[in-house]
Amino acid sequence: MKYIVSLMLLVLVACQPATPPKDNNQAELKETVILTDLEVPWDLSFAPDGSLYFTERAKTVSVLAPGETEAKLLELELKSPLRVEGEAGLMGLALDPDFAETAYLYICYSYSDSDTALNRVSRLTESGNRLTAELVLVDAIPGGVGHDGCRLAFGADGFLYISTGNAQEDTLSQDTSSLAGKILRIGPEGSIPEDNPFDNPVWTYGHRNPQGLAFAADGKLYSSEHGPANDDEINLIEKGRNYGWPEVEGFCDLEREKAFCSNNNVAEPLIAYTPTLAVAGIDIYTGSMFPDWQNKLLMVSLKASEFHVIDLAQPDSENDKTVIADTYGRLRDVALAPDGSVYIATSNRDGRADSSQGFPKENDDVIIRLSKE
């Protein structure tokens, strides 16, 4: 049963010494758990009318209409059965820029071809309670039980951008003929744009496991990416650039990394986190409810269980504010709502929750709304 639970709470965060500073305005926050009893919600996306669409990794796409207290599950009609194992399943979601007219949704999901683990990006049409008429846009993306990527975002240029993990095969990240370990760019019906840097969907390469994609108002694309045990990254994504993996971890600061970077058009991250946070979903704040967050990067993390607000104009520890920490467990995605509030999804039923902290809770997973007190 999915239902609304209203919580009037002040955000109380005890920062650890290695944790970025708290946001000065967090006492103004109101936290409301709006949905409970979910199964690993992965991606949150808002329609222009304020309807919240979201994926659950082992299930389907659901929609919470404005004013409703229960989400409606949409029947998912796919060409291949959903492959749910490890980190794989139903993941990325994006609504068409003209969703009100087209009713098109774009998803990234895992499937199997014989014994081969793969991922696929498709377009579906919402019709009543069904998602139907699947049009496969990018097929046979290497997949696995981990490092699947699968975040989706539309740019102002009308093209769809897709993050792909390297399927735990590090050699694929530097191979520009492979779709794994990349940011891809395609037309809304699957075409390859003429100005792509390669003769395929590849836009950037050298990625390990990019988990978040978000466009800023100025058209710049940002990503969040998992490192190994060090150097989670926030990256500015630029056409044709190499992001270094597996030859470079974080900044080009080791001698062997410096040589590789200078010879291979490597883009260094804006921020690198060591120890890692398991950075996850990101968004750019452009609402009016929280003026101090304007044009800043919103980021959630899985392992660190934190919600950050980051000033991209000065991306350093002094301008990376922790707003929530150690409250809701693992945080998978964050999204800006049309009214300026912010929604966050937990990921406590993904098999990696910290049981010593009491996770997963009885009502996990949940979606939380942040608004003004």
Residues sharing a CB contact under 8 Å with residue 303, sequence separation 6 or more, in sequence order: 276, 277, 278, 330
**6 burial level (CB within 10 Å; 0-12, 13-18, 19+):** exposed
**How far, in Å, CA of 100 to CA of 109, rounded?**
24
**How far, in Å, CA of 134 to CA of 117, rounded?**
20
Q: Which whole number is the average pLDDT over 287-297?
A: 97
Contact between 367 and 44 under an 8 Å Cβ cutoff? The reply is yes
Asked if residue 325 has pLDDT above 80, the reply is yes
Residue-level pLDDT at 1: 38
Q: Is 268 among the domain residues?
A: yes
3-state secondary structure of 258: helix
**Model confidence over 20-50: pLDDT tens digits?**
555 555 658 999 999 999 999 999 999 999 9
Asked if residue 16 has pLDDT above 60, the reply is no
**Model confidence over 112-164: pLDDT tens digits?**
999 999 999 999 999 999 999 999 999 999 999 999 999 999 999 999 999 99
Q: How many CB atoms lie within 10 A of CB 230?
A: 12
- In this prediction, residue 318 has a pLDDT band, given cuts at 50, 70 and 90, of confident
**Model confidence over 64-88: pLDDT tens digits?**
999 999 999 999 999 999 999 999 9
Residue-level pLDDT at 28: 85
Residue-level pLDDT at 253: 96
- DSSP states along 184-236: EEE-TTSPPPTT-SSSSSEEEE--S-EEEEEE-TTS-EEEEE--SSS-EEEEE
- Residue 148 structural domain: 26-372
User: Which CATH number belongs to the domain containing residue 300 in this structure?
Assistant: 2.120.10.30
Q: Is 254 among the domain residues?
A: yes
- DSSP states along 260-307: HHHHTTBPPPSEEESS---EEEEEE---SS-GGGTTPEEEEESSS-EE
**How far, in Å, CA of 89 to CA of 35, rounded?**
21
**How far, in Å, CA of 94 to CA of 343, rounded?**
16
- In this prediction, residue 4 has a pLDDT band, given cuts at 50, 70 and 90, of very low
What's the one-letter identity of residue 147?
A: H
Contact between 210 and 163 under an 8 Å Cβ cutoff? The reply is yes
Nearest to 226 by CA among 169, 166, 172: 166
Polymer length of the chain: 373
Nearest to 146 by CA among 278, 39, 334: 278
Q: Is 5 among the domain residues?
A: no
Contact between 296 and 308 under an 8 Å Cβ cutoff? The reply is no
Nearest to 238 by CA among 223, 260, 227, 259: 223
Asked if residue 62 has pLDDT above 60, the reply is yes
**Model confidence over 156-197: pLDDT tens digits?**
999 999 999 999 999 999 999 999 999 999 999 999 999 999
Number of domain units in the chain: 1
Asked if residue 6 has pLDDT above 70, the reply is no
Q: Is 21 among the domain residues?
A: no
Q: Which two tokens mark 229?
A: 């045990």
- In this prediction, residue 220 has a pLDDT band, given cuts at 50, 70 and 90, of very high
- Measured over the CA atoms of residue 138, residue 171, residue 88 and residue 345, the dihedral's sign is negative
Query: φ and ψ at 15, to 5 degrees?
Result: -75, 135
Q: How many CB atoms lie within 10 A of CB 37?
A: 13
Q: Which two tokens mark 192?
A: 């390859």
**How far, in Å, CA of 84 to CA of 109, rounded?**
9
Residue-level pLDDT at 316: 81
Contact between 75 and 41 under an 8 Å Cβ cutoff? The reply is no
Q: Which whole number is the average pLDDT over 316-339?
A: 95
- Measured over the CA atoms of residue 286, residue 292, residue 296 and residue 297, the dihedral's sign is negative
Asked if residue 98 has pLDDT above 90, the reply is yes
- DSSP states along 318-361: GGEEEEEESSSS-EEEEEE-TTS-EEEEE-TTSS---GGGT-S-
pTM over 0.85: yes
Asked if residue 8 has pLDDT above 50, the reply is no
Nearest to 285 by CA among 12, 27, 25: 25
Asked if residue 13 has pLDDT above 80, the reply is no
Q: Is 87 among the domain residues?
A: yes
**How far, in Å, CA of 172 to CA of 147, rounded?**
12
Q: Is 19 among the domain residues?
A: no
Contact between 93 and 54 under an 8 Å Cβ cutoff? The reply is yes
